Amino acid sequence: MHTVPASLSWRAHPARERRLATAATLSVMALASFSSGLFMQQPVWSLFAAGLLTWSLRRYLFPTRFQIDDRGITLTTWFDHRFVGWAEVVHWQADHRSALIAGRRTAAGLIKGRPLELLFGAQRDAALNALRFHTSRDDASRRTHTAPGIPGESPACDG
């Protein structure tokens, strides 16, 4: 059994972790921005396109700080701050690089709101252990999680 620290905190920066993909992404962004300015025949459109592309890829281009503690999960960036308490988590699903945390059900039983994407970075195992620990502690009957490709787990696990 793995020990789970009282609080786990880390920073994930996908652009820094995957430099070749980042170089390709930035090249495509520059080409698209330049092309939009040429097509519209006004340089301001190049700036607009560059800003729009940067905003749409902000979670990839800029670092994100995550914290898992007894209260819940906190995501902090320079443009966003989100918190999901453990009582709100009704489902989570993990892959090799991230987990989606879904919370809040409607009266009809549908999951409402946008899920929180938890990027693992170099803390994949510790983050998964903390998620398993905190979501299995209380009222496991209303929670599910799936973690495909993770050794020792079935594709769909309750609790």
Looking at residue 155, what is its pLDDT? 42
Rounded average pLDDT over 24-52: 93
Percent of residues, the chain, with pLDDT higher than 90: 35
Looking at residue 153, what is its pLDDT? 45
Distance CA 113, CA 101 (A): 11
* Prediction pTM value: 0.72
